[in-house]
Structure formats: C-alpha cells, structure tokens
Structure 1
C-alpha cells in the first residue's frame, strides 16, 4: 500500500514547475483575450499625445477626444473584467494532462476498484501506476495561445502598437504632460511654469542637419542663409515673448499678439538677434553662412568636327553645388563684315540659349563637362558671335563667364555650287529684304544647269525653291516662308555636296538604329542575322558611294581630310563578325560599344585604294579587262548595224550615222591602243570599206588583250589563275576568228565569234577576281581592290595603331607610347561623362557608364 501511494505523490511533486508555468500561460491568455481592446485604446491615446496632436487641435476637440477615449477605455475595462476568469490549479493540471498520452496525471489519482485484496491484481495495478508516474514526470509546460485574430479580424491591436512605436521613435513622451494645459480652465499654465521649443532647419541643398535650440546655449549661432526657424511657446499667453531681427519682416509683424505668438515660423535672411524673453528664456546672436554665387568658365579651346559639331569644355563650381546652367550666344554685329547680302540691317532674333550638361555623378560643387551641339543650320552659322556661360545654384544666384568671341561653327561645304547655295541661304536668313536679291542670284547660278549640276533632282528642287521665294517676295515675305525656303536650300546644298552618298548614309544610319533597337529589346539569333545582313549591305553601298565621291571631289577635299581615319575591308569585316558574335552571345553592352565605335568610324572613314592613293596592279588589270570588254561590246554593236544595213538598205539615215560615229570612236580607241604595234593610223578612216575597218579594230583589240595577258599580276599556280589564263586565251582566239570573218564580209560569223569572246572575257575576269582574293588572304601577298592596304605599307587600324599580325584587329604594342597619358585619360573620362548625360541611350548602357564613373 505504501508503494502505491508514494509513487503518485513523487510524480505530482515533480510536476510543480510545469504546472505553475502552464497556469501562468493560461493567465496571459485570459488577460489578452479580455483586455486587448483596453490596451489598444490606451496605446492609441498615448501615441496621439506623444505626437502633440492635442497641441495643434482646438481645445474643444481635445476635450471631446479625451472624453471619448475615457469612455471607450471604461467600456473596454468593464467588458474585460466580466470576461476574465482566474485560472485554477485543477484547470492547469487538466491542460497539462491532456498533452500526455494516456492521461497519466489523472491515472495517478485513481484507486483500484476491482481486485482489491488480490495480490496478483494489486501487483498489476502497482506496475500500471508506476508506468503512469514515469509518463507524468516527462510532462512540460504548455505554451499559451495568445492569438486573438478571431476576436480582432481588422488587426486594430497591431495598428495601435505600430502608432505607439512610431510615437516613441519620432515623438516626445514629454508632450503628453502638456495635456494638462489644455484641460485646465482657461488654458492656464502648468504649475511648472511656461516652456518653449525651437528648431532651425537649414535649406535641403546644404545637406546640413537641423538644430534643436533647447540644446544650444546662448551666444553666437551660425546658420546657413535661408534657414527656417520654428518656435513654439507653451504656457499662459504673454508669459514668453519672441524678439528677433533676422527674418526681415516689418517690425509690426515680428511680435504677433495673442495665440499667434505661441507658434511662429520664418526664414533667416540676415544676421541679427534672436531672443526668447521671460522665465527660462534665452537669446542668440545669429551669424549667417554666406552662400556665394557659382563660378563658371571655359575649360579649353572650342573644338569643331568636320560635320560642324562643336565641343566646348567648361568647369563650374559652387559652395553648395550647381543645379543648372546655360550657354547664351548672341550675334556680334560689330564684327560682321557688312557687305553684299550682309549689308542690310539684320532681322531681329533672340539670343540662342543652350542648356549646359550637368554632372550626374560625383559632387556638383566642382566639376567639368563639355557642351556638344551642332548649329550648322542656325542663321548665325559662320558669323561672329559672343558666347556667355551661366551657372545657377539652388538659391537662384547666377554666375557668368566672360564673353567669348568666336565664329559660330557650322558644316563646311566643299562643292562650289553647294557653297553658293549655302551663302544665299545665309543672306536670306540675315534679312527678309534680301529675298529678291537671293532669288536673282540663284537663278543666275542655275542658268546653265547642264554645266553645274551633277544631279537633275537637285536642279529641280532648286527651281521649286526659287519659285516659292519669288512668290513670297511678291506677297511680302513672311518669317514662315523665309524659314521654309531656307530649309529647302539647306537640303539642296547637302544633296549637291553628298550626291548619292546621302541616301547611302541614311540607309546605313537606319540599319544601325534598327540594330541598336534590337540589342535593347533582345532580338533572336535569326533577327540578329537578318539585321546584320542589312547592315553589311548598307555599309557596302555607303563605302562605294564614298569612294566615288572622293574620286570626283579631287584634291580640295583630300587636303581637308588629312585627319580622317582609314579602315581596311578585312578589319571592317572582322568588326561586323565580332559584333554579330557578341549579340548572339548576349553580351549586349560590349556589342553596343562596338556598334558605336563602328558608327563613328564610318562617319570619318577614308577608303584606301592601294598605297599612296594609287590603284594596285590587280585593280589596274581588272579595270583594263573591263575596258576591253566594253570595247568588244561596242565593236559587236557596230558589226550588228552593218549586218542590218545589208538587209535594210532603206534604214541608211540615222542608223548609218550612228554606225559612222561608232566607227570614229573605235578608230580613236584603236589608235590609242594599237599604235606602235603594227596598226596604221589611217586604216580606220576609210568610209568605203566598213568591213575592213571593223577587222582592223578587232585586230587592235586582240593585240591589246595579248598585252594585258602578259602583265597580269598575282595569278601564281592556283586553279583560279589557270582558269583565268585559259578563259583569256579563248577570248583571244575568238577575237582572231572574228577578225577573219570580218575580212571575209561574214558579219554573222563575226557576231558569233565576238559573242564567244565576250563570254570568255567575263569568265576570265571572274576567275581573276577569285585568284586575287585568294592571294589577298595569304600572308606576305599584296592586298587587292578597294579597302585593302599594301602589305608592305603602313598597316594601321581605324584608331591609328599598327595592325596586328595575320590581319587581326589590334596590337600588343603600347597604344599611348609617346603621348600624354594623363591627358588621354582625362579625355576618355570626359567622353564617358558626356555619354552618361545622354538619357536617350539604352538603360543598360547608361548603367555601364555609371559603373565606370563610380570606379574611376
């Protein structure tokens, strides 16, 4: 019997701490569920008082709010008391027992009802009790369930707790004590007497912290100009007074009366005295930190590119930072040479104002940037102007640079006709009264269009512009008509200057823009391949037109292109292949950089044609064969006309005359090519025997082909070279057969042989081109054709560096050897900053530029 009772008591004694903790948790549960509304009301009221809401609201509202809060707290307290029940020990013991398997604690209190007195049955019972006791000893305290979401579905308790936490961080618990001032009769002061608070908030652009006047002793106080000072007085009205001479307000407003005197806010705009008079008052001598106006000045000479784009570096500084700037350009009328179209008084025009780029990274208190603009179409382009740079700070103060006299940069035109059109455009924009004079001069310039115009489209556009100008002059030329005609004249001058190159450049620009857009939007590999093919075709067309234009413009443009860069065809192809590879690999940042570099190179490119601007032997051979093919075609046409004469004698008139002209042209060519090789100069002048004349021309053409075959370069022993020789041999034999047929008056047979000769010539030219292209890829051989540089000559990449081995782009040599390394570094940094300021660039590129600026 003793064993049966001792074991349960020992087990229950071991449960005393788990039982106490469980009971405490039950107490927390019931308090939370009963009094969470009361706690929420108290937290909300405390937060409002800590934020000083009672100080800003009218007294009636404050008293009403306090009454409602007290009523709500009382109701919550009564409901909480009614719902609260103190947890009993048996309840805690029951909760603890329910967490154990088999309810062992309840089993320890049971008494054996069946089998009492039976030794075997009692032994089984003791074993059962001992087992339950072991289970009871393993009991642990039950965690309380403090969740009241079912009772508070809108989470009002969390709103109250958050407000109270913010009040502790940003508010002041001492403000809660001032609620007595509001509730006291007549708003009388607290027993402790009047009090005050004050802050000084410097302007945001100064990045200086606010000052709490209660923590600052009396004496000198230095604050930035434009700081806002806020003061609040507590207590009986009139117990404390403010006296100040720093706001610049009229004296009558510096000391407002009544309730307005309890809270004041004003800006500090001049030094002076600030005093709080009364119990606990204090005074300060306010000293202002001056805000100096910004300074700005040019930071180097004006640079002008070939297309008229100007670059003006400048530097600016301010004690707190520059927020904006502009460049103002005005006409320097006194420096204009007033003659011809500039003799009349100019039309009034507003000054040209350009926004200056601001640094987007780093400190704007001192920085350097570059103004980049193209003002080629402005009416003052090419005229003397004055430019003034202006910087502005956050306070509105402005600083200006000294006026800089210069000639407003504009695009240069090399074609004489284009220069004449641009000059008349300038005179028209100078003054509207020049309209009649400009129309007369343009008519004089275009009087004989076949002698001055290369493009009929440009002539037609100019005639339309002249008629518009004359119509405008008759009706009284308006500024709108003036600008319209000026725009048309600009387009005409560009068309005359560039010719077909403008269309090719536009296609190239469009292809580059589409490719850049594809990079930004993530194009597929198929789309990339299609866009790259479009770019290659546009670039080839641009290079071809550029080469043709350079050949037509002669030495004048060559002298003005000494600074242009050179690029070879292999390097261009390598760059295009590299660009496509980068895009397909998803390396869009590098691809965008390479595309931008390619765009700049194409704008300043000079196609090289052999060494020293001369054609290579391969080019000369190909052009000689092409000329031979054209002459053979002309000879075949003349033979065909003679054949028609045999069957249509009535068509003697116009066709016979055309045949004689072809004979005379063929005679001149034959004499130029065949003299010294056995042809008699007078053989081609016989009009009575056309067949013999054609035979002589055919013989001269065959001998010219033999001479060209002996000087063909770079054929080697390649299959293409052998095929070229065989094809040219066949062409020579066919020419000989045509000659024999012409001497025998067999015009039909001669036409067949001439057709065979022309086909063989074409095949020979194709094989020769393949042979030259194959030799071009072999190291140590001369490059052929447009865009190739001599292997033994100056092989340089588009940046002016020595080209690497095996035709690769780049070199391992020092790129800055012999140059100002630090100056070059500054130029690169300025360029990065300029590009980072162009917000129209893709965001991925701007992010890359910002990371470069952060690093360097």
Structure 2
C-alpha cells in the first residue's frame, strides 16, 4: 500500500517533465530522420530566390529539378520509414536514467523478501519514500539535436547559409518565374516584354545596405559618393536604355545605353533613368559626408619621467581611419640667446601616429597620445602641436595648432642641467660645436669641486676631446659626430642626475639638494612626489647606516637640551613638507626643508662622537677597517688624479687635487673619505712611516710610491683580518672571507701600480673597497649576535623570546612594550619584514574579524 501511494504521488508530479522529455525525444528522432529533407528545400529556395534558374540553360534547370525532386522523395520516404513516436515507457526510462539511484524503477519494484515482517516492511517503506523524494526532483531531459555524426560535412549549414543570402539579396517574386525557365513561352505577359533589375551598393566603410532599385519608387534618392550602380536589361536589345548624369563619365568610358549589363560609380548628383516599358526615373543626390574633426581634450600632462600625454577627441560621420600629430618648432617664439642665437640646422617636424580605439565606434571617441621626447633637442622650447585625422573617403581634418613647451625629462642637478643645455645647443646647430666645447671645458675646470660622481669625469673628457677633434676637422663637425657626442652627453647627464650613490649620507644630501632645486624651479606635483619618495628612501638608508655604525655596548650621552624624534614624527614632517610644496607655499617648504637638513646634520655629529673610549675588540676592529677604507679611498683618488695627468699633461693641479683629505694617520692617502668631508693636510712634504718622502719629482706622487703605500695598506688589512673577532660564527667567517678578497684585490692593485697601469689599478682598488665594506657589514652582524648572546647569559633568558616584541626588539624597561633599540640586524630582517607584511595582508582579508581590528590592519597596509 505504501508503495502504491508513493508511486502514484511520484507519477502525478512527473507528468509534466515526462511529457516534455517525450516531446524532446520526438524532436531528436524527427531531426535525425528528416534533416536531408529541409536541407534540400533550403537549397532549392535559395537557387530560385537568387534567380539562378533565369540565367541557366533550360536543360540544366530540368536536370536540377529532377535531381532535387527525386532526392526529396527518397529522403522523405526514408524518414517516414525510420521515424517512430517515442512511447511513454521510453520517456520513463530516459527520465529515470538521469536520476541518481534510478528512483522511478525502484517505485515499480516489489519487495522480494521479508514480506510480512514488520521491520522489513518498514525499511522497504522508508526506501520507497526516499526514492519518491528523489523522483520529485526530476526535470525534463533536454533533447540531443546534434547530428554532426550523420552530416559530417555540415551540408545543412551550407543550405541554410544559401537561404539567408537569398533572403538578403534575392527576391521571393523570382520563384514565380520558374515556369518560364522550365517552359519558355509559357509565361505570357512577362515573356512578351522586356524587363530590368538593378542595385546600388554603397561603399563598405559606410556600413549601409545595398539598395534594390526594383523596390524603390521613382523620386529623390540619396546615396553616398562612390556608390556602385549595377544594371541588367533583359528582352529585345534596344527595348530598354539607361540615361544617367551621375557617373561623370565622358568619352570612351561611356557604355552603350542599351547594353545588357552596365555598371558605374556615383560621383555627383544628377538623374538616373531606365527608359522603356516598365522603366523608372530617380533624382539622385549625394548624401552629405562631413570631413573628420579632431581637437585636444585638456592640457598637455607631463609625467615625472619626462613622458607627455595629451588627450584628444576625434569625430566623423562613418568613422576615423587614421590620425597623426605634427610637432613643429615655433621659431618666432624662441628666445634667441646663448647657443640659440645662430640659425638652426634644418630639422623636420616631429610626426607621430595617433592611437586609434581598437574596439567600439570610431565615429566619436577619445584617446590619449603618450610619447617621450626627452632626447629631442626641442625639449623646453616653444612648439606647436597639430592633430590631423582622415576618413576612408580620403577627407582630412585638423585641429587648431596648440602652443606649448615641448615636455621632457627635467634635470635638477646643476652640472647635469648644464650638460643637457650644451647638448641642446650642439643639436641646434653644428656651428655651436666650438662654443659647446669651450663651455664644457670651463664647467669642468675644477672637477673635484663640481663633479660628485668621479666615474662620469673620464667619459665627459672623452666626449670633449672627441668634440674638439670633430670641430677641428677639415670639413667641420659632421652629423655622425654630432649625434655621437649628443648621445654621450645624455648618458653622462642622466648618470649625474640619477646616479646610484653608495654612501647613504651623500645620497641624503643629494636628495635634499634636488628637492630644493625642484622647488626653486617650480616642479610639477608628479615630480615633487617622485623626489619626495627619493628623499624618504635616502633618509631610511641613512638612519639604517647610523644604526649599524652605532656602538651596541654604549648608549649615547643625552644632555638636558637634547631633543628626540620618533619615526612617526619624522614621517609627519615629510608629509607636511610635501603638502606645502603641492599647495605652492614655497617659502614655508624651503624653511621646513632647511630645518630637516640641520636636524640630519646634528644627528650625524651626535652619532659620530660616540664610541671614542672604552672600545672592545670588535669596536677596535671596526674602527681599523674604517680607517683602512678611508685610506684606500684616498689612495684611489690619487691614482685617479695621476690618470687625469696622462690625459692633460703639463696641467697644474687645481686646489684640492693633490693633498686634500688625508687618511686618519696621515700616511696612506689623500682624497675624499667615504663621508665626503675634506681633510686639512697637504701632499707636499708629508712622509711615510719610514720617514721617506712619498712624492716623486715636483712633489707629485709617482706610481712606485703609490704601489708601496698600497702594499702597506694590504699588510694592515691582513693584520686586522687575523685579529678579527667573531671566529666560528657565520657572520665572522663571512667577514674574514670578505677581507681576504679585499687583500687579494689590493695585491693586484699593487702590481698594476708598479707597471703604471692606472686604469687596472683603479678597478682593483674599487673591488677592494667593496670587499672591505662587505666585511664591515658582516662584522657588525657578528658583534650584534655576540651582544645578544651575552645579554641572554647575564639574564638567564638567552633562548626566551617572551621579552621581545614582534619586531625583535627588547621590551621596554619602564613597563612599555617595545624599546628604542635597533631592529634585528642582518639579511634576515628583510625576510622577517616580508613575512610580517604577508601576515597583515592575510588577516586583513578575513572578514569575520572585528571591524576595529580590520580598520587597524588597513591603516598598517596604507602606511607600509
């Protein structure tokens, strides 16, 4: 009883899906059985509507009719033979096969065993209820109408495509002429007189459909210029004729008016008539096609890197096909002074292709022209920008010339800006070559006082010599030499402006100078933002360098007038500085920048006065390495000056070239130390430790003297390496390995100096100084580890992390969490910082956390 009830209820709910499934099965069988029938019908109707039977021979029409009729009957008979209407049981089976566990079959089953047993019957009833619940979820089974296996060549789609083409370009009325084609003369009135047909096809770029003239009533007719007219005349020759004045043809181009097939393009307004029985006449006029237009959308925007962007808007009736921008020098507005006094060399205007929208309608669109002209000699000079666009018909439109100064990369370093100005003058006219060489020679007269990056001095001198040689040549300065020198000057200026300075303090001063220069020159907000980012990064590097150089065993002595500033307060000062510059309050911004500069200098003095007494072995080794590095830098400077003498023989050394900045002990080398400060000693009259003069003839150091001093520096470095603390630890071993590499490079430098190979010696000395710096960094890490282990042994908590905050700092002594100690040292700090940032991002993405915590995490991500 329970089974019958569940089955009846399931059947009542399954009536609709069962009926739809059955209809779908009938559609499947109908499609598979009769698809050739409708394919043949589609093909036959397409042939008739296109009028192909009218031009074909009568025999071909008869053969086609017999073949198509026979095939239609054969496939129709075969389809009727194969087609079977699906039964209810078949639909039931298909529906049941789509359900899990075949619940419909289960409802039809009887209990095989356990009849009469109450427990067994209860289980069976529960099973039926479960199957009835599954059956209640039944939905119709979608029919499978795919017949690609029966029609592998897709003939049905070919026939359908032909029918659609006939509906678009043919005529249903042509089906009535099939009788004429099969039995000529049986048509009566149509066969008795002439007929015609014609089309007008507008150009493809207009996107307009073709016009069938037989369906257009006589009267006015607007068509685009360039439309193609095709006419066909049927019947007795001469019964119909064409009369037109719209093609503009003349002479031999004109076809006979009674020709059976005629074609021409509409080039002007006029009259189109078909004279004769059933003829018509139209007054054809040219549809308006306005020329395209383009106009700038806003002002030119310049990015901090020098790249410019200009938005523009273009419009046309049928769509813009191409566009270009022309930048021409506005000679009348150029201030003719300095190197611009002479007449410029002929230079073609700048032509650039305008970007066209890839997707969408080109009849009205907005795009952005983005280009970088930083290397062009017209940068900063007044120019005119003219935008031009064209359409498919060849019409052009242009914008009103827009006056502007050609954007490009700005140089805030004074020397870099001067070099770029001379590069512009050189490219302005080759006749400026002599003047440019004189200016560059005058600017670089005292290189130690002007050129911060010594690596740019030699390339600049090489470019200068190359320029002077080109000017002195018989034919004057050639175009090839002009371009070569201009490219070299560009590279030198970029290096001076954006060079990677190794010393953090120098990098900080450089960033402050560039920012001050930008404020004085009225930089844009983008340039200010870029320079502020550079200042922030330089300040962070400088603070990190101070933290590494600070003696971990000594606390700085604070006086009652000492002021402290936290990282957050420093960040607030920088944000305030950027805000003042963006608001145009230059005076206040300059005052705040000067205060920030003084604060950094005082911080440097305070740090430099620490650690002068009570030093441990690690501090002594660090100080010895610092002195060795400083002396090596001074020795390298002297070798560099000797190399300069090779290029400028007989030139007197400038002030500060031969004696400034001696080593800490006064016996190793002169030049600039790695802090950029100058010493007070002079080269002449100084002696080495053995009491022998260090200079050669005329008080100038020779290569052998430099080699001897290089050997003494190598011995001092070897002694420091042998007595280096931190043996057995990974940082200590790394420091020893770095100093070993430095000693080897010093040995190579000594050999090069003995052979008077100054260029090779400079390279070896540079590698030696880099190795010493690596050793100092590793030694600092080793000292930090020793300090941490020593503090852990004293407190009995060497392995406990409970007294450190998440950033690795010791807990404060006054009850606050965190202290003013430096963060964990070494390369591992970057991994820890990255892991910490990833953890913050992960937690900020967990929406189930309290909103207060999510807001805090978001503020952390915004800041870092």
TM-score normalised by L of structure 2: 0.48
Larger Rg: 1
Bigger relative CO (Cα 8 Å, ≥ 6 apart):
1
User: Between Structure 1 and Structure 2, which shows a larger proportion of helix residues?
Assistant: 1
